[in-house]
Structure 1
Amino acid sequence: MLFWFRSDLRLHDQPALRAACTSGARYVVPVYCHADYDEPTPWGFTRVGHHRRAVLAAALRDVDGQL
């Protein structure tokens, strides 16, 4: 079974993840898709700044550790 983390990386209040884990599936594969952070917006701005990237990386490491 595939569990797609879209924007909410919290584990404690994810009813879909809880359902996936209790469904009897042999495996639950967590997936998070990164956006193309280096591609500028139509207005020429960066999509995600360095600080947000650092926060996201830390959050993903934390989720990985919790899983």
Structure 2
Amino acid sequence: MPSRNGTDRDEEIRRRAYGLWESQGRPEGSQERHWQQAEHELEAEERAKVAPASRSRTASTRPAAGR
């Protein structure tokens, strides 16, 4: 999976954080919390995309049972 450059990633986090802020009624003083939540969500999605590929490579390199 190609990695995002810092600017693209920050822009995605910004969009997510803004969406969270709007969905929670635009509360004052919550930008740091929304930024962190957006960052964690993005990281979780990135890990989920990488994990299945890693598991399938690991499984295909193991010797068959009984050999």
- TM-score, structure 2 as length reference: 0.34
Larger strand share, 1 or 2: 1
Which structure has the bigger radius of gyration? 2
Larger helix share, 1 or 2: 2
Structure showing greater relative contact order (alpha-carbon pairs closer than 8 Å, 6 or more residues apart): 1
